Amino acid sequence: MTRLIILTSGKGGVGKTTLASNLAAALTDFGMKVIAVDANLSTPNLALHLGLHLAPYTLHDVLSGKTKLEKAIYPHPYGFKVIPASLGLNDLKGVDVAKLPEISLRLLGKADFIILDCAAGLGREAISALSASDEAIIVTNPELPAVTDALRILKIAEETKVKVIGVVVNRIKGEKHELTKEEIEDLLGVPVIAEIPEDENVSLSIAARKTLLEFSPDSPASREIKKLAARLCGVKYKDCLLYTSPSPRDRG
């Protein structure tokens, strides 16, 4: 059974795209077949993170009827697949965001997990992406404005009948002004399912066009993302120093 999970946030800059790319990698480490979809059509970044920014066919082409879905699905060296979005402003012309749910339906059965990285906020893109999903993970930072914005997107998810799995608190620095896990759960009314620390390796991995799990598999953020993937898979997490990921060749 394919799980359609959207990573969404009330504001930009919380690290949603970084989580999407690396959650796809972590799920792959646990033997899952994964397709990561860049459903952020106006400000896409997933392809940049993964070195697929020069892909000849994109989700924009599919949504505008210029190409078939199968042509826009690319293998990533880590072992999962990616549907990138176009970085060109002209490619927004003729794109029908209302067709995103149709794309999701056509992906059913092609993977164990479909991870959608959507636009931040409450715009039409974000709502269409939510409608294309069955489950949602709310991504936020431990600051009050970010959590307040997360509450808004949480309410929209509930109104669209999307099951909210929980909240991922990203880029935790351990500063005094940051909200605690308990405070965030009280404000949002849903569980915090992962707490990911600020990690300098994230920026370095993006610059290298690699996933964090490939660039620095034992880094603090990598460990927490692997724990989240294990939770989604329903398996017991093993410390990454003891867990040996299969190579892309072994994954098939």
Distance, in Å, from the CA atom of 182 to the CA atom of 198, rounded to the nearest integer, reads: 19
Cβ-contact 35, 73 below 8 angstroms: yes
Coil, strand or helix at 35: strand
Residues of the chain predicted below pLDDT 70: 239-252
Residue labelled with tokens 């002209």: 90
Task: Name, in order, each residue with C-beta under 8 angstroms of 142's C-beta and a sequence gap of 6 or more.
Answer: 169, 171, 172, 178, 179, 180, 184
pLDDT by residue (tens digit) across 42-95? 889 999 999 998 899 999 999 999 999 999 999 999 999 999 999 887 777 878
In this structure, is the dihedral angle defined by the CA atoms of residues 43, 57, 132 and 35, taken in order, positive or negative?
negative
Cβ-contact 124, 97 below 8 angstroms: yes
Provide the CA 231 distance to its chain's centre, in angstroms. Answer: 15
pLDDT of residue 245: 42
pLDDT of residue 242: 35
pLDDT of residue 239: 55
Coil, strand or helix at 137: strand
Tally the residues of the chain: 252
50, containing H or E segment: helix 46-50
Rounded to two decimals, the pTM is 0.91
pLDDT of residue 247: 40
